[in-house]
């Protein structure tokens, strides 16, 4: 194991940003939007977007789903 799950969870929950990710208690996914009021997601991970586009989706799949 490489620690990717632990790293991804800490990236979403503990990174200090101008607009941090919004995480609800008891939920695995967090909302990680870009600063400035738009709703563009800046971080794609199972802890932010989940697997909504399929497991290990590439950029083409992420932009088309």
Q: Among residues 56, 58, 59, 63, which one is catalytic?
A: 56
CA dihedral 14, 59, 51, 8 (to 10 degrees): -20
For the question of residue 56 being annotated catalytic, the response is: yes
The DSSP secondary structure of 45-65, one letter per residue, reads: STTTTTTTT-TT--HHHHHH-
Tokens 């399929």, residue?
54
Give the active site residues: 56
């Amino acid at each position: 194991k490489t620690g990717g799950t632990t790293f991804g969870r800490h990236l979403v929950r503990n990174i200090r940003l101008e607009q941090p990710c919004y995480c609800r208690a008891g939920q695995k996914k967090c909302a990680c939007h870009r600063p400035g009021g738009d709703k563009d997601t800046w971080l794609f991970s199972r802890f932010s977007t989940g697997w909504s586009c399929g497991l290990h989706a590439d950029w083409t799949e992420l932009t088309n789903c």
